[in-house]
Amino acid sequence: MMNTTYSVTEINNYIKRMFAQDFLLNKVTVKGEISNLKYHSSGHVYFTLKDDGGALSAIMFAGYARALSFTLKEGMKVSATGNVDIYEKTGAYQLYVKTMEEDGEGVLYKQFLELKAKLEDMGMFEKEYKKPIPKYIKTLGVVTSPTGAAIRDIENITGRRNPYVQIILSPALVQGEGAANSISAALERLYDYNPDVIIVGRGGGSIEDLWPFNEEEVARAIFSSPIPIISAVGHETDTTIADYVADLRAPTPSAAAELAVYSIEDLDDEVDSFLSEMRDLFENKLDRVRMQCDNYRLMLQKLSPDNIILTKRHMVSDYYEELISLFEDKIKDAKDELSDYSDEFVSLIKDKLKDTKNRTLLLITRLDELSPLKKMAEGYTYTEKADKTHIHSIKDVTTGDELNVHFKDGVAGVKVISTEEVNR
């Protein structure tokens, strides 16, 4: 008897027909715990139904999934109704679910909620216990599997953002039996190296894979850490007890590295911006000081004795010119009025005018002799206190006073050694 050879497709088609002809498999209700739950962008829901003895792959198409009155969660116990069929491309059979009912939350999920409530009542999730994550770090501690994708992601992100940050890996089991104790011990080992911040986590997985991070032992180890801890467990939709206890939660290990390690490029930009701002502030301050100095210089020039004396001299000169002009105007008026008088009277007037001019010049000469500048040129000085206070009497001066003595060609600072009052 010759053996017949079949193709893979033929075998899969045959098995598919067998499933289709099986009355039990055409409509069956399966009770189990949801694991490996994934919502696809198309709306389809992929998951695994499991119990203590085995697991069954399942899919619920978008049209049926939209009819659900509740949201599926990891660890939830359900009763799923549908048909078992084979997916010919892979040769794997699965349950095609049409309807589903809740059948309890699942043992693991109940344990999760119970521990979460216990630790929350103890205050371990309170913000007051959260340590701030330092902005600039030199060393980064990591507790994770040495062979997993998490450490590679953290190393890649850290190297890209700041290659000067040192990574200290404290290897640990992150799933399976003994993982919780391994994570706690790895944290203890890191304290000897005193890193600036610690990332504790792993990549994604089922609720069973992530369960060590829902253990009370790990929660207490994270809570009691003297060093700030960032939890990075699973994917963005995964939430563990470690996330609640940690000082900061990151959705993924890569995101944790982004939060922990500052960008050296951003720091350079901040420093450049700070220096530019400081230069602007310094230049503005310098401009204000220069303007203030110019104002003080103008005030000093205006209040200096030389300037005051010069101003008075200009005033005397103006008065002289005004006086001459006034006399000339008077003379002209007198000439017009006395034009009809005799030459003798005119001569008398001229003599009077000459006498008046002589007396005026005499007054001007006396006024010039009284000029402070002329007196100073003869050796006289003008003295004032260092704070510009005028001195009118020896009583205005005491021993030890600092004075400014103005000469015709400069100023001398002197200090009073003694004083003596003279009655005149």
Torsion of CA 171, 174, 179, 184, to 10 degrees: 50
139 with 195: CB under 8 angstroms?
yes
Closest CA to 242 of 185, 184, 197: 184
38 band by pLDDT with thresholds 50, 70 and 90:
very high
Average pLDDT, the chain: 86
Helix (H) / strand (E) element for 167: namely strand 166-171
Nearest to 134 by CA among 196, 193, 195: 196
Report the amino acid identity of residue 299. M
At 394 the pLDDT is 83
- 3-state SS, residue 293: helix
d(CA 399, CA 155): 79
Output the six-digit token pair for 298: 């103008």
Say how far apart CA 359 and CA 329 lie, in whole Å. Answer: 18
198-220 residue pLDDT tens: 999 998 887 788 899 999 999 99
The answer to whether the CB of 137 falls within 8 A of the CB of 197 is yes
Convert the pLDDT of each residue in 15-36 to its tens digit. 888 877 777 888 899 999 999 9
Task: State the number of CA atoms in the 13 A half-sphere of 167 facing the CB.
Answer: 23
Q: 């590295």: which residue's tokens?
A: 257
In angstroms, the CA 60 to CA 315 distance is 109
Instruction: Give me the long-range contacts of 384-390 (CB less than 8 A, separation at least 24).
Output: 384/305, 386/413, 388/303
Question: What gap in Å lies between CA 125 and CA 239, rounded to an integer?
Answer: 14
pLDDT at residue 291 in the model:
87
pLDDT at 231: 95
Q: 204 phi and psi, to 5 degrees? A: -75, 170
Q: Where do the DSSP E strands lie in 66-126?
A: 77-87, 92-102
DSSP H or E segment with residue 139:
strand 139-144
How much is the CA Rg of the chain, to the nearest whole Å? 52
Pick from 250-259, 364-373, 402-411: least confident: 364-373
What is the model's pLDDT at position 2?
55
Confidence band, pLDDT 50/70/90 cuts, at residue 257:
very high
Q: What is the pLDDT of residue 127?
A: 92
Phi, psi of 279 (to 5 degrees): -60, -45
Distance CA 142, CA 230 (A): 10
Estimate to the nearest angstrom the gap between the alpha carbon of 29 and the chain centroid: 58
322-381, pLDDT tens digit by residue? 888 887 888 877 777 766 666 676 677 788 888 888 888 888 777 777 777 677 677 778
Q: Check whether 318 has a pLDDT greater than 60.
A: yes
Paired tokens of 5: 């050879």
